[in-house]
Structures are given as C-alpha cells and as structure tokens.
Amino acid sequence: MTWDASRETAERLDRDDGLARFRDEFYIPEGSIYLDGNSLGLMSRRAEKSLMEVVSAWKEYGIDGWTSGEFPWFDLSEKLGEQNAPLVGAEPGEVIVTGSTTLNLHQLLGTFYRPEGKRTRILADELAFPSDIYAMQSQLRLHGLNPEEHLIRVASRDGRTLEEEDLIAQMTDEVAVIVLPSVLYKSGQLLDMKRLTEAARARGIPIGFDLCHSVGAIPHRLHKWGVDFAFWCNYKYLNSGPGGVGGLFVHRNHFGRMPGLAGWFSSDKSIQFDMEHRLTPAGDAGAFQIGTPHILSLAPLIGSLEIFVEAGIDRIREKSLKQTRYLMDLVEKEMPGMNFSFGNPVEDHRRGGHVCLVHEEAVRISKSLKEKGVVPDFRAPDVIRLAPVALYTSYTEVWEAVRILKEIMETKDYERHEKKRGVVA
C-alpha cells in the first residue's frame, strides 16, 4: 500500500475506516495526538463505567460484593479470562486475569523451570525487557545457580532485531525453559512464535512468551501453536488503566499441575472455603493465581474487553498494519535526508503495533514533539516509538504528527532542549 502525502488522503482514509466509530469511546487528551498507547492505553468510557459500577457495588453490598451485583468479585478473574482468551487464541480455562507481568512470570518460571541434570539453563535474548531478565536471574539464584552461567541471552546481529535461526540454534539439551517476547519492546519486531514453539517442542523444552507488546494489537494462536505458557499486562493496547491487573495463559496440557507459587486463590473455588491446609489447585489456569484479586484494578477491563469483542482482533490488526505502513511512508516521503531510519522490520508479517524511528537526536526530538502536542515514547539511546492505536488514532492524526515532526526537523526546534531524558522516558 502506498499513499500520497496530502491531508486529503488522510481524511479519506478516516472516512473509509470501519473502526473509526470506536474513537468516540475514548477520552482523548485535549490538544494532543496520543501515540503512546503501547506504553499506556487511553481510558474508554466503558472502562470508566465498569470501574464505577464495581465501586458502587462495594458501596452498596460491602462484603457481599464477592457474590452479589452485576460483576461478583469471587469469579471475576475467571470471567475476564474467558473474554481475554480469544485475543490470544486460547481455549476455555487457559487464561486467567491475575497478578502483574513480572509476578506472573515468577509464577510461571516457578512452575515450569525445573533444572535437572545438565538441563539447568534458561534461554532468553539480549533485547528482552529488563524486568523479564530480572525475574529469570532471580529464579536462577533461588535454585543456587549463577545467572552469568545459566542464563543464555541470544545476541542480536544488528542491535535491534533477532533472527529465529539464532534462537533455535541455542535450544540445546542444556536448556530447561525458554522465555521470549512476542514483540520486541523497543524495535517492534514480531517474532515467529509458531516456528519457535515447534522448534522448542521438538527438543522437549517448555516455551513461554511475554505478550505485553502484542496482546490487543495482533492475533495469537497460543493453543493451536502448542505454546506452554504466556503472560502479559493489560494496560497497553487493552486499555485497562495504569497498574491494571495482568494476564497469563497455560496450555491445557498442563492443567492439574501444582503451581510453583501457591496461594489462596490457587485453590479449586468449589472448596476454597473449606480452609484446608492441603491445597487442591483449580483444574485450569485459575490454579496459577496467588493472592486475592485486585478488584478495583480488574474493573476497567470489564468495559475495555467489550470493545475488543465488538471490534474484532483481526480488524484491529488490519488497521494497525495499515496505519504503521502509512506512518512509515509519510516519514520516507516527507523527510528524506533528515537522518531518520526504521528500527522496526518493514515487512508486515514481522512488524508489531508500533514504529521505531531511529535518530541520534531522538531524546531532544521527543521533547519537541511533546511540547507541540504529539505524545511519543523515547527509548535510550536513539529511539522514538510511535504507536497509532487502531481503536482511537485517526489517519489524520498520523498525518499531522508527521507534519509536526517535519517542522521540528526543518527549524531544528529540538536544539532548544537538553540532550537528557526525563526520569520516566
């Protein structure tokens, strides 16, 4: 797909957009073009409504809110797991909404990482999100193992992307478990999860994926591919709010397995209040919960997931690819010779939901963009991440953002700023 660089073309694309109506569902910050939904999604009116309904239930029912009202709290994590499941290609019972990204990774490693004999190593990559690496290092230390020796971080050839061949080559008989991202958080590269899972299964190694930068932006087929486990946050593309409760997937092949980190809500719910000191875990992914659900942080996801059911993840992916392609085309046409390059793969089948613009002045350019109403995301040392979100970003906004970026570069407006990032990038 190619387009001319006129505003009229952007407006025509908006008129023809079958998802445009969902933009009105969201609170768009006044006077801004929000391109940071891959870090924190915007609030929808439905998320606000469901949050206030749960708050009202607490007010009206008190402790009886666990079993009363429109959204009883006791099985809310399970019900939201059912709604979340189609977005990751899971079967009933394979998804639970619980914990946080890193807590869920600790739970899954505590369950699936079983070092024995020469199989002691965890396979990851050098471009992984730091929190995932911290969790893996912690789990190794808990087993009395040195992370420097037992954590494999597969190298990137170009510093931005990974080659599946390199990952597969490291799947040796010394590897006990594999944890990889679905989409690389910085460059936006989408890994071939199906291929990697097939390679891991052929070698008898359990494999899991961090879906934080793909869930809600691309379709997944976790059950069909045979992925053993996955984990994610819900506050990026799924718009559940800051610190929103995370999610995890466990393939039904592992149902009945004792959770590595057991807790109150790991229990079979029908006998949870028998108060036995011997845990009978739930027979599905519910077993991998630990503590009491954070109900007020679950609540916005009720409304948010309704929108995804209506919009459909395949249509969201189609628009996301079209918008990121449009953004890249505009940058190429409007700013030749301005030293921008793309850190993300340009092929549709290898690109996630955001564009990774690389420039040596990225930190100062990001400051200028934000001053002028475009909300980007900076990642050190030289990356500007721009994420048009299919549910609320218009093509005209993408066009306007590129126009502002071009103006910043032509006037060298960024030179007014200190070349230093803020505490929160």
Alpha-carbon span 51 to 48, nearest angstrom: 5
pLDDT in tens, 258-287: 999 999 999 999 999 999 999 999 999 999
Question: Are residue 13 and residue 73 in the same domain, yes or no?
Answer: no
* Residue 404's CATH number: 3.90.1150.10
| Bind-site residues for pyridoxal 5'-phosphate | 101-102, 129-132, 210, 213, 235, 264, 292
Statement to judge: residues 316 and 297 lie in one domain: no
Could you tell me the two tokens for 118?
Answer: 């020469």
pLDDT tens digits along 105-160 = 999 999 999 999 999 999 999 999 999 999 999 999 999 999 999 999 999 999 99
Q: How far apart are CA 144 and CA 132, in angstroms?
A: 19
Do residue 254 and residue 384 come from a single domain?
Answer: no
CA angle 154, 343, 185 (to 5 degrees): 60
In this prediction, residue 2 carries a pLDDT of 67
DSSP letter at 263 equals -
What CATH code is carried by the domain that includes residue 161?
A: 3.40.640.10
Task: Give the model's pLDDT for residue 323.
Answer: 98
Cα–Cα nearest to 179, from 144, 143, 147, 211: 211
CA-based torsion, 317, 321, 323, 324: positive or negative: positive
Over residues 335-348, the mean pLDDT reads 97
| Cβ atoms 191, 164 nearer than 8 A | yes
Residue 1 has pLDDT above 70, yes or no: no
What is the set of active-site residues? 129, 210, 235-236, 385
Structure tokens at 268: 């079979």
| DSSP, residue by residue, 229-249 | EEEE-SSSTT---TT---EEE
Predicted confidence band at 4 (pLDDT cuts at 50, 70, 90)?
Answer: confident
Mean pLDDT of 307-329: 98
Number of domains in the chain: 2
Q: Does 87 share its domain with 108?
A: yes
CA distance to 33, 365, 399, 404, 405, per residue, from 374 (Å): 5, 11, 11, 8, 9
Annotation: binding site:
101-102, 129-132, 210, 213, 235, 264, 292
